Structure 1
Amino acid sequence: MNQQGFKMKEKILIVEDEKDTREGLCELLEAEGYDCLGTGDGNVALGELKKGKLNLIITDLKMPGMDGIELLHHIRRINSTLPIIIITAYPSLESTIQALKEGAYDYITKPFNIEEIRLTVKRCLERESLIAAKEQLLGDLQMANEELKKVNEELIEEKNLKISALYETSKTIEAIFELNLLLELIVKMITRIMKVKICSLMLIDEKQGDLIIRAAQGLQDNVIKETRIKIGEGISGWVAQTGEPLLIEDIEQNLRFKKKSEERYITKSILSVPMKIKGKTTGVINVNNKISGEVFNEDDQNMLLALSTQISVVIENAYLYNKLDQAHEELKKTQEELVRSEKLATAGELAAAVAHEIRNPLSIIGMSIQHLQDKLTSEDPYRELTNVVMNNVQRLDKISKRLIEFARPHPLHLSSYDINKILTQTLNLMKRKCISQKVKIIKNYQHNLPLVSIDEEHMEEVFLNIINNALYAMQGGGVLKVRTWLEPEENEVKIALADTGPGILAENLDKIFNPFFTTRADGTGLGLSIVQRIINEHGGSISVQSQSGTTFTISLPLASR
């Protein structure tokens, strides 16, 4: 925003040596409301970056002089966070991985799809806006905390020695943001400073509008759990409604409020004050039964009011912190999902191209090796070499098929199935391999499970992938436990597959569903990525826990009736 409140145009630099392409991109993006600059020289681009504010750079990969990767490296030395999109007519898996490692946001191939350009630029700039908003929110919170700290420091100068001691105590709780713990410490602090036997801190339940006890000292547990006071009723309700403190010297002589419990009220004096934030009452602090047996006085009321002012700020800070922490976690999760989905899309496009390019040469190599083997005797020393080549050709063919499957998944054909039967079918397919590896299968099925709506072939592929991984982890034998059960509250069927292998390293747990991530020498890194995609397409979820052994837990929604 500028000083008049108008949103400034986002500035994009196009680095492309082909003039027509560069001008075409500029014209397209300017029509979308962006401010565009264009150049075909990497050094000129670096000069523009140093001169002024840029929101995004789109650069070609292959250029005379400084290419896109080299330019990307120089940009990152000047600006480590500026988003960059790579464009190229010569896509390769190696250049894609290199570009992403250097910090590129996305990778687009020529010829361009106009809608793809629009959406990629929009998603990229929206992501940067979310990050900027988060930083702004953190800055605002820090500024608010600084202002509150300044207010507290000013209050210290005005208060007497007892208030100063109170502030020193309150500083301890300011560093605590776990609300329940904070409230318990506050009540203990009030009890000690006010020298009372009973103290309760009540907050207004936002959903129902009643006062409930959130923390207390000197009250029985059932009283704390069961007490719920309507606004306007009783001592606490009156204080919450009026926003005024209430000091009662003798409850028995008070015509408005009468003593309710001889056991709770040893003395006849009661003190109740409101807690406020920005003039709005958020709760009430009640104290009674002074240890000295004396009645509360005006000094006590002023002290508790001073306490309530600081406590209200501390509690509000805890609320804000918890909300910010929750918002940060949600933003982080959204960003991770966004980055993952974009990487999956890019990887899928490249996978299809790579698979297409290598399958024809592989076919020719395979046929040539087979023809050569037909001419060799079984004792020929070259026979072993041709077998090695043939095995690797078959492995490459398998990888290319996985790439195609990853890039172009088959549509789901959903029907209602008993998940126990699908699991049993899959386990029967793997039975011989389990026996040969001395792996014992333990089935713990919940009977009469509701049906789930699934694609049978796809779901078998999910279970085969997970079971194969389990068997790979238990090559010296072990136990494979398969369990199913119903979660009626979530309207889901759960499936857990647990092995007794060595487990997955903690640092790898959050990577195992990423495409092309593998710790196996013969792995493609696509199996679990495909598994997660299939489960997501079914509207379900998959999670993994790994300590002594690994457990995959799948959740599938029940079929519609």
Structure 2
Amino acid sequence: MKLFYKLIIGFLVVALMSWITGYFAVTHSKEELQKAFIERTESMARELLDGIEKRIEGKVEIFSRDTHDLDLQETVLMSNRDFGKLDDIEAYIEQQDKAWTSVPENEITPFMQGLQENRLSEELKDKEEYYSGDYGYSVFGEIFVTNKYGANVAMTGKTTDYRQNDEEWWQIAKEKGLFISDVNFDESAGIYSIDLAIRVDDRKGNFIGVVKAVLNIEDIISFIQEVETSLTRKGHGTMAFKIIDRYGRMIYSTGDFKFLEDVSYLVPTAHPGSGLSDTEVFSEKMQKSDGSGGEIFVSYVHSKGGTGLNWLLIVEQDAQELFAPVSRLKKRILTISMLVTVLGVLLGFIISRSIAKNIENLRGAAIKIGRGDLDTKIEVRTNDEIGQLADSFRQMADDLRSTTVARDELVREIKERIKTEGQLVKSRAQLNAVIESIPFDVFGIDKDGRYFFQNSSIKEHYGDIIGQRPENLAPDKDTLNRWLDNNARAFNGEVVTGEISFEIQGQQRHFYNIIAPIVTDDSIPGIVGMNIDITGRKEAEEELRKAKEEIEAWNRELEKRVKEKTRELKEFQARLIQAEKLSAMGQVAAGLAHEFNSPIAGLLPLLQKYKKTAKPGSDSFRDMTLMLDATEHMARIVRDFGSFAGKPSERRFELDLENVFESTLSFISSRLEQKGIQLVREYKDGLPRVMGNKTELQQVILNILMNAYDAMSDDGRLVVRTGVSRDKKEVIMEFIDNGVGIPGENLKRVFDPFFTTKEPGKGVGLGLSISYGIIKNHGGNIVVESGNRKGATFRVFLPAVTVKGVSDDD
């Protein structure tokens, strides 16, 4: 094959490699994008279902707390006592139930009105109106309370019947403590809803009644629509959602749908009810159902939370939108590859034509000169080694031409032989000088296979090789075979070119080898060869390859680090969101404290007035005294709670730490008692006051107490102690618990923001960090001592007041 075609093929191979690389890059990008999308979609769907369940569980938590409300329990207990005095309770309930159900739907009897307008019913209506005003729609269709016999005690609206203990939800709530229904149409409330029923126990844990709330499904749908709106703003315009309940009924769809329509055909064979009880999530790619021939990705996520709803969330995404970036990349790579191919072919044609043409002209001229045509013009005009060789051939032709004489000048030629021979010697010397000036190995081999000439370059590598054979110089058998094969081809009249590599003086060298036959009178008495050293170029190519591999390795490492930082950023964002929720709860708590404070403030003067009118020592006097004490105690709790939940003042006052402790313990003492944790107070008499912000110090104390509460079992022991330092300059607060303790590797991180060892949803890791900042801002310090399973001791040091200031306790 000619050199021209070899060079063209080489450039085409390089262009083909760019096409192959682009193809694999696009294919791999598409696979990785699909994998990342499925993972992200499944995670997002899982978070959406978790959000729905947490939304329902939040409502359950609200009513679970309300079951401990004093008014509710007193009303239910009073109803139970009244029913207990009846001779035949069941007959009474049955009689009232028949009378109740016989009344037209829009009519209310005085008996119904009494249940609907008692104090507990008014409180339930206020709660219902509060959430309706906060969300902009009716969150709860109705709320009502029954006693332990299943009869209505209080309600926000007329219920379908009076007896409830024959209902499945009532029986399940009584037995298990909680009942959550699937979505249905509630006839009493006139809305699609989820029924929540919660068992009511007295302080001793005895069953006394049931609270039922009808949760409007609009609350869940609005939450889903908020998520959809957020995804649309982020560029997921074709993403669609469907939610199906356990019975295969449609609860929600992004497009038009009929509520509770049977769409069980959409449920995959792996869904619960169809066999997916052990599979939470999976994804697949399928054809669009509209006949367009397009594809979509579908992810199925099954809810497995504590609500027991067993809903299925289906998320669909248009594959064309997903792979749009890959399509754009494919077009760019195709354009670049075409340009590289065209440029490669054009460049290869120019370079190949230039080299091949010069070598072909040189070869043709050498053949003609060898045949005696000394007037042959050598059309090679370059400044490289080929040009130098062409100059040598021109000089050789001129020398040979000067030695040729016509037969008619034979006499003159004989006379001038000596002169001519001198010129010939000079010409040969010039030729040798030209050959010696070539900075590459130049050699000649005769028909016997022996070297008959060499230049100084090859002599430096091998020494004097005149008269030797290639067998004496080859470093190994493979190299020798290549040499002999190339020499044989040249003796057959072929100009042999190509790259060869072999060892010289202990070093591996690379050469571009040219071997041409010496043609004279239709015979080839010898061959001439040249080895152009290209070792430097080969080494540069190898360095370029290694540099490319290092860059690719750095790219892989960079991608790995970017993924790690992205995961850390998502975790940090989730914790910030939880912190914002806690902040919002604090604002709601402050508002509730304000709302409770107003009726209590009006109640206290009335109680004081009635106590004065009661006769001392009488039952009425004692009852009024107990009620007045309880109301004042409630007022103090509400005042302290409102002060704690509200925005702290920037002013600081002289504080009595014992007073701060007691006002804070009122928030948590009941929880400690319910868990069976023993609270030990060890206050030092005559404790110096401190200068500080009462609300902030209450927050520090409550954060440490709550951490101790979470760390202890039912038989825990918590000691709160006050004291002073030896130099009387600091007041010390100590909190000692016998909980699980803190492992040594975590002690240095307990005050870091967002560091927590609690389960997700039970803390965001900000409590101790905020407490540390508050104490430092007060000029104090906070330290912790602990060991794994050895409990924990927190010590807070605050500067003692040495100069009398303004007291916040007065």
Q: State TM-score, norm by structure 1.
A: 0.30
TM-score by length of 2: 0.22
Larger Rg: 2
